[in-house]
Amino acid sequence: MATTAPRPTTRRAADDINYSDLYERWERGNWSATEIDFTQDKIDWAEKMTDAQRRTAMWLFSLFFHGEDAVTDGLSPYIDAAPLEEQKYFIATQQVDEARHSVFFNRFMNEVVGLGDGSIAGGMNATAGQLSWGHKMIFQGLEDMCVALRTDQSPHQFARAITLYHILIEASLAQPGQHVIEAFLEQEDLLPGFRSGIANVALDEQRHIAFGVKVLADLYDADPKGTETAVLDVLRENGVFISGVAMPPNWDTSYFTAFNYSYDDLSRDGVKALEMRLKAVGIDLHSVERSPIAVDLPLDERAERGRVLLQANLVGPDRPASREPYPTEVMFDSIARAADVHAVPSGTVIEWAFTDAEPWQVSFDAGKCKAERGTARKPSLKLVVSFDDWADIFAKRVDARKLLLTRKLRPKGNLRLFAKFGKIFP
């Protein structure tokens, strides 16, 4: 595949990674999840930790435990789809790692927390209630991706699958979470057995992420545009779910403060990790068209946008949506940023004529798309809809076609433009 394609002229971090080195690191890094001694952990759990710390630990560790189980189950089609033997071998080692991670979390849940019957299924059933909406959506997406990869092993589909698994889930979600857990337990000198396990998990994950970066870089060398499209599509498709993974029950902030971190800390680290890994592949979000992350904004603002939308119910599982000006502005700014300016002629204006809120408009001009408040003078297309129904569409809680059939969404004006709506705002 990639070996005969010309390399990009600038050197990337991925050029320093090679598959045999990753395999050797795996052999050297082998560890045992069944030999970890949890004696002190049981004492810490019962006597040293506060209720809020135990509750936070249960929540965070459950997100990891279920994640590890899902990635263990999902890797087989990756082995089949990988074009190089060295890649297949590495993924086989990774599958062993993920199973070991799952065994580690299950042992802790059973032996220290006292949940389940020791079997993986028992541990998972006992902790399933802890999972966030975003977690369920992302891992359902991974399951769907694995099914798709079984039937379509093209480089494009492989790039999509690696982006979701190794870049989005491992680099952008799991690694920042591991750092939060490790830093807190280290600082408070708690759970030494768990700490030794998660340190090994983190080392394994570093290898997995490096592998994902290397594979994507190879695919990028063979087909830069196609690979970039595959990567960006996956980021866009998962954008509304990703920010919900670390959404605590009822937005109770003690789930963060008990472990000395904030939601925005996690988001910032996740966004940074994502941008850095893609840069290592050769994809600079600052120079791509329609970056799924608003890289022109300061990092703090970039990272907080997900939370703002989520807390306003403009993404996430719940209704009703907030009509506060700032979240609404973030939603329309996101819509304008995602718009494909090549899909419509310059001068096109679309108005959201909300039946119960202030109108908004999105206009296309000279290769740019911008969103602003207010009624359009001559809209090419007008969408008559309630604010909550629109929020349901934006958050992917409902299929727009369903609202069309029930006339809760009424397009007026250029209906040919409306027919292309999914293409304009993918």
Interface residues with Fe ion (CB under 5 A)?
Answer: 68, 98, 101, 170, 205, 208
Rounded CA gap, 306 and 302, in Å?
A: 8
Instruction: Supply the minimum distance, in Å, between the C-beta of residue 208 and Fe ion.
Output: 4
Candidates 207, 244, 307, 245; CA nearest to 67 is 245
Q: What angle (nearest 5°) sits at the alpha carbon of residue 216, between those of residues 215 and 222?
A: 95
Q: Is the dihedral of CA 233, 236, 241, 247 positive or negative?
A: positive
Choose between 53 and 72: whose C-beta lies nearer to Fe ion.
72
Give, in order, the Cα–Cα distances in Å from 42 to each of 158, 190, 199, 201, 314: 43, 10, 19, 20, 42
Strand residue runs (E) in 150-238: none
Instruction: Supply the minimum distance, in Å, between the C-beta of residue 115 and Fe ion.
Output: 20
Rounded CA gap, 198 and 57, in Å?
A: 13
Rounded CA gap, 48 and 123, in Å?
A: 24
What angle do helix axes 263-281 and 299-311 make, rounded to 10 degrees? 120
Report strand pairing: 360-365 vs 368-373.
antiparallel
Instruction: Supply the minimum distance, in Å, between the C-beta of residue 421 and Fe ion.
Output: 37
Choose between 193 and 316: whose C-beta lies nearer to Fe ion.
193
Instruction: Supply the minimum distance, in Å, between the C-beta of residue 44 and Fe ion.
Output: 24
Choose between 79 and 404: whose C-beta lies nearer to Fe ion.
79
Rounded CA gap, 146 and 190, in Å?
A: 37
What angle do helix axes 387-394 and 325-338 make, rounded to 10 degrees? 50
Instruction: Supply the minimum distance, in Å, between the C-beta of residue 267 and Fe ion.
Output: 21
Rounded CA gap, 98 and 208, in Å?
A: 10
Instruction: Supply the minimum distance, in Å, between the C-beta of residue 142 and Fe ion.
Output: 12
Choose between 170 and 269: whose C-beta lies nearer to Fe ion.
170
Instruction: Supply the minimum distance, in Å, between the C-beta of residue 60 and Fe ion.
Output: 14
Instruction: Supply the minimum distance, in Å, between the C-beta of residue 101 and Fe ion.
Output: 4
Choose between 197 and 379: whose C-beta lies nearer to Fe ion.
197
Please report, in angstroms and rounded to a whole number, the separation of the first and last CA atoms in the chain. Answer: 30
Choose between 69 and 389: whose C-beta lies nearer to Fe ion.
69
Burial grade of 370 (CB within 10 A; 0-12, 13-18, 19 or more):
middle
Candidates 277, 282, 172, 307; CA nearest to 225 is 282
Choose between 68 and 389: whose C-beta lies nearer to Fe ion.
68
Determine how many CB atoms are found less than 10 A away from the CB of residue 5: 14
Choose between 74 and 316: whose C-beta lies nearer to Fe ion.
74
Choose between 78 and 332: whose C-beta lies nearer to Fe ion.
78
Residue 46: DSSP 8-state: I
